[in-house]
Structure 1
């Protein structure tokens, strides 16, 4: 095979639509856009416009609010921690904290801290240091012979 013989597979490339090139092309005159009006022109931005009728986003009442100061925790289950320990990604002897969980690939990025939930079983005796934990998770960790330290909130109330 030579460089000048290289070509795409049949049907891999599609020729572009050449509009406004005469009536014989089938896309002449209006170029497939119909006749007149805002939609026939370029730069149309009428998303959500309902032809002068009151739009649905204005007809419906507003509900609730989004707390911009809310903490966003990484939620990690006990089962997930146990799986990482079994796979050898987490060291059961060392303290399990947010950095250790990130290094093991259990969480992608550390947000406002890690919260442990009681989903799954924990067999290993581990020391855990996290921002939060459910009551059942604390019971399960202590039942397995481990310890848990819940850190104080990192954000200060101003």
Structure 2
């Protein structure tokens, strides 16, 4: 066996249907397209959402709401999560720490929220803090640094 005589296994391939090659072929005439209508014409492509002329769902349903282009999306991290992460002895929590811990992606903005308690003095660097989170961190003797 070599590259010049490789071929598919017997029965693995079939010849293509030769459509529209005269009535003797059995697939001439309408060329398997049925009779008349848009689907029988050349160049036909069904538009997405087209419902045969009926008013499509996309146009029957009213428009509502809007997307605020100035919205800032934060990745929320609570104090109880920070407490669990710092059991290993770390005290400086910055963006790179959150990325390595798998809590945020490297481009995400981080907001620390106040659920849970902090017992150690931590220095936390984040893009935003809730008031309760700042109080809890400072009460434990730590620092909340806004990036």
Same fold (TM over 0.5): yes
1:105 maps to 2:102: yes
Root mean square deviation, CA, Å: 3.9
The 2-side partners of 1:134 and 1:15 are apart by: 66
Of 111, 123, 141, the match for 1:145:
141
The 1:36–1:97 alpha-carbon spacing in structure 2 relative to 1, beyond 3 Å, is: farther
Q: Distance in 1 between matches of 2:13 and 2:114?
A: 57
Q: Give the structure-2-normalised TM-score.
A: 0.64
Q: Tell me the secondary structure at the aligned position of residue 71 of structure 2.
A: coil
Q: What are the within-5 Å matches in structure 2 for residues 4-153 of structure 1? A: 30=32, 37-38=37-38, 44-86=45-87, 88=88, 92-94=90-92, 96-111=93-108, 113-151=109-147
> Given the two structures, how large is their TM-score scaled by the length of structure 1?
0.60
- Residue pair 1:102, 1:110 contacting (<8 A) in 2 also: no
Q: Are the equivalent residues in 1 in contact too, given 2:125–2:145 (CA < 8 A)? A: yes
Q: Could you tell me whether the CA contact under 8 Å between 1:79 and 1:122 is conserved in 2? A: yes
1:120 positional shift = 3.4
Give structure 1 regions of 4+ aligned residues with deviation exceeding 3 angstroms. Answer: 18-23, 33-45
- The count of corresponding residues between Structure 1 and Structure 2 is 135
For 1:120 and 1:15, how far apart are their aligned partners in 2? Answer: 65
Q: Which has the larger radius of gyration?
A: 2
